[in-house]
Amino acid sequence: MKVILANPRGFCAGVYMAIDVVDQILTLIPERPIYVYHEIVHNRHVVSRFEDRGVVFVESVDEVPEGATLVFSAHGVSPQIRQTAQDRRLRAIDATCPLVTKVHAEASRYARDGYQVLLIGHNGHDEVVGTIGEAPHAIQVVESADDIPNLEIHDPDRLVYLTQTTLSRHDAQVIIGSLRAAYPSIKDPPSEDICYATTNRQLAVQRLAPECDLVLVVGSQNSSNSQRLAEIAWAEGTPAFLIDDKSEIKQDWFEGVDTLLVTSGASAPEDLVRGLLDMLITRYGAEVQQEDVSLESMEFGLPASLKILMREHGEDPTGRTIRIGSGHDIDSWVVQREQASVPVRMTISSHAAKSGPQPAPDDDSSDCS
């Protein structure tokens, strides 16, 4: 069996930053537990590993003892949650993805300027809940085009749409098209809200899935971006399964499968992908071939609240950043297992995200995010 390994895949810069924030706090602060509001990222293994190290994940700030350390997850929180944490004298460390923070700032600014904000996203998702909290009087959630007739619009000339960062770009464009048809004066956000990593991982599946008989996506069921990867594979006509790890594999999935595509969501650790590949090589004699659909390089500064904590504990954060690229050294890993790997590169210059967020074309043929 041939295994095509999609690249880019796995951790985005925002997820890497959030995990690194908790890692550093565990190193800096000897007291346990450390509290995190909601799952730091939507991945069962990441959460479980932190729990083993003394992290407690809570669904309410009221669960956190006064004066304790509380980390806000990558998905962001509302101003009301921040205020509650302050009222309880909690040491709040903000691990919100900067791209989510951008959407929060847009929602707040447009609401102050008298706009109604139509937020395209999944009602109840942590990110959407946090964004709504910026201006609950001005924001309505649009999950599908079917929601548009039920919107309460005060002034069609004072409308703007924003999007959840982990949506399928294609699905978002369908809704945006319907909004524009209903409200021609609706404003676009100042720049793309859908995360560059979401776009690039979905583009890779859209490009590679048609060449394959089956797609396996490593990620958790509550991960929005991982769910979108599986949905895109099915839309391209290739069956797909979303799995937390290799233990969820079923042998009958591989009947008649000659070519398998493996990818992972933006919150899935790479070691889970390697574990899956190891099983596929051992059990099925798989030959692994990585295909690079786009290249990524993103750098975020450390959160200001973490810098303050580091200085208090004698650590100098000057010049420290969170940087992640899309280079997975899969060839040397396969060589170590005495297996052959054939590196293949695909040059798709119009989609390559070589230095952060890149706008994707608007035609449906490449809208895969």
In a domain, 275, yes or no: yes
In tens, the pLDDT along 216-261 reads 999 999 999 999 999 999 999 999 999 999 999 999 999 999 999 9
Cα 150–chain centre separation: 29
Number of domains in the chain: 3
Quote the tokens at residue 296: 């990524």
* Residue 111 forms part of a structural domain: yes
pLDDT at 266: 93
Q: Are residues 165 and 97 in contact, defined by beta-carbon separation less than 8 angstroms?
A: yes
Q: How many CB atoms lie within 10 A of CB 333?
A: 16
pLDDT at 364: 35
Residues 158, 131 within the same domain: yes
Q: What is residue 296's three-state secondary structure?
A: coil
Q: Is residue 313 part of a domain?
A: no
Q: Using the 3D structure, point to which of 148, 182, 216 is the last residue of a domain.
A: 182
Task: Report yes or no: 145 and 120 within 8 Å, Cβ to Cβ.
Answer: no
Residue ranges making up the domain that contains 89? 14-97
Q: Is 46 helix (H, G, I), strand (E, B) or coil?
A: helix
Amino acid at 12: C
Position 300 scores a pLDDT of: 87
- Distance from the first to the final alpha carbon of the chain: 28
Same domain, 216 and 332: yes
Cα(89)–Cα(93) distance, integer angstroms: 12
**β partners of residue 35:** 56, 70
State whether 8 and 23 are in the same domain. no
pLDDT of residue 369: 30
Report pLDDT digits (tens) over 289-335.
999 998 888 888 899 999 999 999 999 999 888 877 655 666 666 66
Annotation marks residue 127 as catalytic = yes
Pair (139, 260) in one structural domain: no
Judge if 272 and 138 occupy the same domain.
Answer: no
Distance of CA 287 to the CA centre of its chain: 29
Q: Are residues 72 and 127 in the same domain?
A: no
Q: From the candidates 59, 63, 66, 127, which is the catalytic residue?
A: 127
Look up the CATH number of the domain holding residue 291.
3.40.1010.20
| 160 and 218 housed in the same domain | no
Domain check: are 25 and 141 in the same one? no
DSSP 254: G
- CATH number of the domain that residue 81 is part of: 3.40.50.11270
What separation in angstroms does the CA of 153 have from each of 33, 163, 281? 46, 18, 56
The residue whose two tokens read 């040397």 is 332
Taking CB atoms within 8 Å and a gap of at least 24, the contacts of 341-350 are 341/287, 341/288, 341/289, 341/290, 342/287, 342/289, 343/289, 343/290, 344/289, 344/290, 344/291, 344/292, 345/291, 345/292, 346/207, 346/291, 346/292, 346/293, 348/203, 348/207, 348/293, 348/294
Exposure string of 278-292, with b = 16+ CB inside 10 Å and e = fewer, is bebbeeeebbbbbbb
The amino acid present at 60, given as its one-letter code, is S
Would you say residue 83 lies in a domain?
Answer: yes
* pLDDT score, position 168: 86
> Cα(260)–Cα(216) distance, rounded to whole angstroms?
8
Q: No. of H helices and E strands in the chain?
A: 11, 15
Give the chain's residues under pLDDT 50. Answer: 339-369
> Are residues 178 and 286 both part of a single domain?
no
Whether residues 255 and 335 share a domain: the answer is: yes
Residues 203, 171 share a domain: no
Which phi and psi angles does 93 have, rounded to 5°?
-115, 125
Q: Which two tokens stand for residue 64?
A: 């956190």
Beta strands 214-218; 159-163: pairing state: unpaired
Asked whether residue 38 falls in the same domain as residue 83, the answer is yes
Rounded-to-integer distance, Cα 364 and Cα 230, Å = 18
317 occurs within a structural domain: no
